Amino acid sequence: MYKFAHITDCHLGSWRNPKLRDLNLQAFEKSVSISIKEQVDFIIITGDFFDVNIPQLGPVKRAVEILKQARDSGIPVYMIYGSHDFNTASISMIDILHSAELFIKPTEFQTDSNSVVLKFFIDKKTGAKITGISGRKIGLDKEIYEKLDRKNLEMEEGFKIFLLHKGIQEILPLDRNFKDSLPISFLPKGFDYYGGGHIHKRLEKKIDNSMIVYPGPLFGSTFQDLEETAKGEKRGFYIISFDKEILDCRFIEISEAEILYNEIVASKWSTEKLENEITRNISELQVKNKIVLLKVKGKLIGKRSHIDFGKFNLDISNKGALLSFINTNNLSTDELKTTAVQSDNKLDIEREIFHENIKNFQSESTLSDKLKKQINSKLIGNDGESLSLSLLEILRNDKLENENTSSYEDRMISSAKSVFDEEGYFYDI
Ligand SMILES: [Mn+2]
């Protein structure tokens, strides 16, 4: 009997928050160390290994070390790319790992105008025949599937695995809208195992003698992922046992941190009422060592800016939470009234809008009085208006061609800081 592990959607390097970024890397490390302990014969990874095509070097170093652990244990890794991993216009980090032979990419094909002929990669030890198609940005891989020479693949004898980074319409749950999926008829029939990535939900289905498995992300890369984990979605990977056919599919849960999700729905509440409800809610929560997600939604009478959400975050942290996030995206208020402006040119209109809205500005109550005073002197009135206009000017800069999101963000942040440099930083001494 042989075994392989199926891991997907690691999104290594995702999360700006260092604790979350680390938990995500830990989840990957754990999945590989369990695979080594279980003595699997090989590992398959079905895309979105990295979160962006040029990730930060810290997570890359960890990823390389972990992949090397598998290699040193004699376990080959077969990996296809996901839509997040690469950019067709330039070299991506994943290509460098591939050049260093940290994994095998079983996606080679020959093509002419009418057909795409995929090549099988035969795993030396087990004889398993592996092939697959990497995911691309929406739609670009559709042509490959349309022209795929399925007959050749179907005629091949032996234990066969097909890897894809795309949803299959027939097995996706109906209650959610998944973009970018294909009908099952586009896939070659009769493979023993179809390993899927891209869908951030665990799916498992047997059709005739074939198993179709989407393990879902190892940890998750968005707040929606974490919210679903908190609501009971299990995260992890699969270990599959086989000889001439599949003998067993086992899901291994990876849970690096408990996630607590809570919702507060305001129904035309005053700011005082909402503040009291949040305080009561927080006092009742058991948050120790948990990631806390608090969603505050509904309708508020009064100004949202009068509620100091930063303070509530601090309260949750002080109770021992690992991390806390308060999401107020769906909290509507009547504070965003239309601002009437008189001017007819863009710059004056912008200045007037800042002039009107800056009146609502309030600094966070947890700051020291000294700091508040400094902040107020810079951010309110005419100074505040000039500062806002300079920042707006910087925000007009678009992402450059081939510039990835994190270097774009770094560039924007350092330009924005230069505005504060001229004006003077805020010091709490
Ligand atoms: Mn993904």
Assign 339 a pLDDT band (cuts: 50, 70, 90): low
How many A from CA of 384 to the centre of ligand 1?
A: 41
By residue count, the chain amounts to: 429
Percentage of the chain beyond pLDDT 70 is 94
154: its two tokens: 């179907």
CA distances from 127 to 48, 157, 158 (A): 26, 11, 8
Q: What pLDDT band is residue 206 in, cutting at 50, 70 and 90?
A: very high
Q: Ligand 1 centroid vs 55 CA: distance in angstroms?
A: 15
- Give Cα separations from 3 to 69, 106, 239, 267 (angstroms): 18, 18, 7, 54
Distance (angstroms) between ligand 1 centre and the Cα of 48 equals 5
Give the burial string for 380-391 (b: 16+ CB within 10 Å, else e). Answer: beeebbebbebe
Q: What is the pTM of this model?
A: 0.78
Residue type, 90: S
Tell me, in angstroms, the distance from the centre of ligand 1 to residue 295's CA: 24
Longest dimension (CA), the chain: 78
Query: Which protein residues have their CB within 5 A of the ion that is ligand 1?
Result: 9, 48
Mode of pairing for the β-strands spanning 109-111 and 77-80:
unpaired
Catalytic residue numbers, as ranges: 84
Residues 6+ apart with CB under 8 A from 293: 223, 226, 227, 230, 259, 260, 261, 262, 324, 325, 327
Instruction: Show the tokens assigned to 130.
Output: 């592996």
Place of tokens 């607590």: 260
DSSP 148: B
Q: Is the confidence at residue 427, as pLDDT, over 60? A: no
Question: How many angstroms does the Cα of residue 311 sit away from the middle of ligand 1?
Answer: 33
79-120 pLDDT, tens per residue? 999 988 887 777 899 999 999 999 999 999 998 888 999 999
Q: What is the pLDDT of residue 412?
A: 85
Q: DSSP assignment, residue 339? A: P
How remote is the CA of residue 171 from the centroid of ligand 1, in Å?
17
Residue with tokens 């020479």: 149
Unique residue bearing structure tokens 């707040």: 223
- pLDDT greater than 60 at residue 423: no
| Cα 1–Cα 48–Cα 50 angle in degrees, nearest 5 | 110
Q: What is the pLDDT of residues 235-292, one digit of tens each?
A: 999 999 999 999 999 999 999 999 999 999 999 999 999 999 999 999 999 999 999 9
Expressed in angstroms and rounded, the spacing between residue 201 Cα and the centre of ligand 1 is 10
pLDDT of residue 225: 93
Measured in Å, residue 323 CA sits from the centre of ligand 1 at 23
Q: Report the DSSP beta bridge partners of residue 238.
A: 6, 251
Residue 423 C-alpha to ligand 1 middle, in angstroms? 42
Torsion sign across C-alpha atoms 402, 405, 406, 410: positive
Please tell me which residue, 372 or 257, carries the higher pLDDT value: 257
Beta bridge partners of 210: 207
Predicted confidence band at 153 (pLDDT cuts at 50, 70, 90)?
very high
Least confident of 123-137, 261-275, 287-301, 364-378: 364-378
Q: Among 5, 63, 55, 24, which residue's Cα sits nearest to residue 225?
A: 24
Question: Across the strands, what pairs with 261?
Answer: 293
In the structure, what pLDDT confidence band is assigned to residue 154 with cuts at 50, 70 and 90?
Answer: very high
How far is it, in rounded angstroms, from Cα 390 to Cα 416?
8
Residue 120 carries which DSSP code? P
Q: What is the pLDDT of residues 395-405, one digit of tens each?
A: 887 787 778 88
65 pLDDT above the threshold of 80: yes
Q: Is the pLDDT of residue 178 over 80?
A: no
pLDDT per position as a tens digit, 208-242? 999 999 999 999 998 889 999 999 999 999 999 99
Residues 6+ apart with CB under 8 A from 323: 17, 19, 20, 291, 292, 317
* Helix 57-72 vs helix 18-37: crossing angle, to nearest 10: 10
pLDDT value at 365 more than 50 = yes
DSSP 342-393: ---SHHHHHHHHHHHHGGG----TTS-HHHHHHHHHHHSHHHHHHHHHHHHH
pLDDT score for 328: 87
